[in-house]
A and B are shown apart, each in its own frame.
Chain A
Amino acid sequence: SFELLEKRELAPKVNLYKVRAPQVARARKAGQFVIIRVCEGSERIPLTIADADPVAGTVTLVVQEVGSTTARMAQVKVGERFADLLGPLGAPTHVAKIGTVVCVGGGIGIAPVHPIAQALKAAGNRVIGVLAARNTGLLFFRDEMRKACDEVRVWTDDGSEGKKGLATDAIKEIQAEVGQIAEVVAIGPVPMMKFVSKLTKELGIKTQVSLNPVMVDGTGMCGGCRVSVDGKSKFVCVDGPEFDGHQVDFDELSRRQAIYKEDERRAMERLVKEVR
């Protein structure tokens, strides 16, 4: 199990991994994630299931190299195995037929928003996908998202692909065109989710965000993933990862994500030394 069957670079420092995990592939639903341990001594890190094939028994992960563990992951070759893969974790996305839904994927957030768009469309919604990133080089899954959505719009901060602007500009544009957006699903960097939620609150559009705090077990036994939602502490790995964006304390989440900055830098230095 957990053999790496296929690996592809989607963008600089963004890889797609197809891993054998038959049980997980069978059980998973949109919005769920796995926890991977690359090798002995390595951390447990959560990664969203971007796609799965229950017949072939595979799950697809899309991972951005941001530090030591994701970099270690990038060194694994096809045919090798990950030490551990646990899942599917978290509560599945609540999928209902509600009308026009905008699914915003910011940068690496495009991967986790993809299965949610698929599920929402399958439930009979009109799904408009928004791919947003700093520049064209950070975009991926254009075709996959076109397949998953009724329509896809691309926005970049620098205008190197699609329209020039932020995810919030995309939402304003769509709102002006379609009138009534039933729901926004926004997944990406915390500041992006924060500003989208702020905007949609003003516009009165229900908004789901998927949170990415630091996790350990992923099964509700450590509390390390807790965030404040509507003033109450929630464990993201079991109560989430999706929450009402209008109630999330994003600033607290950002601060909690930064607890280990120093250790993470040291771990990366050690990895660089090991590789040399």
Chain B
Amino acid sequence: MLVQALGKIGQTLVVLFIVSIATFGLLKLAPGDPVQIMLGSEYSQEAYESLTAEMGLDRSFLVQYADWAINFVQGDWGTSFVARTDIFTYGFKEALPVTLTLAFFSLSFAILIGVPLGVLSAVKKDTAFDAGSAVFALTGTAFPSFLLGILLIWFFGVRLGWFPVMGYVSPWEEFWTGIYHMILPGLTLSTYFIAMITRLTRASLIEVLEEPYIAAARARGEPSWRVIWVHGVRNIAMPLVTILGLQLGTLLQGTVLTETVFNLPGIGQMLTSAVLGREYGVVQAGVIMTALLFIGVNLLVDLSYPILDPRLRDRK
């Protein structure tokens, strides 16, 4: 098992290397010569060459990459001219926590609502409730989240005035106000996942409920809530965790849109304004943070299988 885990970690490192070198190389292709931009319209050939050398742009691609990577690991990500701060503070300390908070709340909503909904439709299979939840699941997975966000703002924010429509308050500092501000964005982002988890829970639970150990539990006279919620739901944890890990990318790209709808200062807003301001360093930082998150979580998912499924622990 240790060998397997090390192999996984090795693979992950290779993927990280490819992602980082590709991002670095790709944004080198971006239009505009950085030296020319810094020098302005009039400059001498010597000034051009000396600045090129000073910025290290005369060295080979790999040396430049290595240099950049070392700086990146040390938290030296360069400066953002639009936000007037260094990118590490801007991206990692300010934007990332907002995105993670939003992702955390959405995922919690999704699990807290999606799993019970899926279990209920599996138990009440082929009833009106099941049909209703199937329609909801289908609509929920196909409905564009940014439109849903605007509709929620219009209905709950403007018409009813129940919730604040914009702004971010960190729930880690002011707990209740923060949560209050997170409800609409969290719902917007989580609808897709509620629908997806409902579908998945229903499908896997129907399969699990036909297993012999469920019949055995019933035969022992265990109450049906225990049969379903303990014996049943425990056994759908694996597919659920796998899919959630794989869908993390969808979650992250959802945060980009939700942040724009609700004006939350997260990675999404950072990326959008960086693209509009042509700040390639910031785009690079945002892209790599997203990739790191995705890769990291999927490594955790892979490594968590033996914890979730005891049968996997014994294999070498």
Binding between chains A and B: no
- Residues of B at the A interface (CB closer than 8 Å) are none
- Residues of A at the B interface (CB closer than 8 Å) are none
